[in-house]
Amino acid sequence: MLDPAFAPGTGTPEPGGMALVDLLWTVRRLAIDAPHVAADVVEVAPPYDCADATVNNAQRVILEVLAGLAVRRGATPTTI
């Protein structure tokens, strides 16, 4: 889903994919608004990622999911 500029460490790069900021915003909005039961991060291949950008961005996506779920449960931004 992410453009290879933001996620070079993947087995299936997506040329012309989303920018990281757009993905983070979308993931948080989905976590707040959409009913769901699971979230997965797939296709992180550290051997292809010399600068750990993909791993760091995947970690940030997970944090955005958790932050969105916290907002949905009633946490305020100051308590997240």
For 10-69, the pLDDT digits (tens) are 888 888 999 999 999 999 999 999 988 888 898 898 888 888 999 999 999 999 999 998
Grouping H, G, I as helix, E, B as strand and the rest as coil, residue 58 is helix
Contacts of 35 (CB under 8 A, 6+ apart): none
Single pTM value for the model: 0.83
For residue 78, the model assigns a pLDDT of 64
CB 49 within 8 A of CB 2: no
Cα 1 to Cα 5, 12, 58, 59, 79: the distances in Å are 11, 10, 11, 15, 30
Structure token digits, residue 14: 């997506």
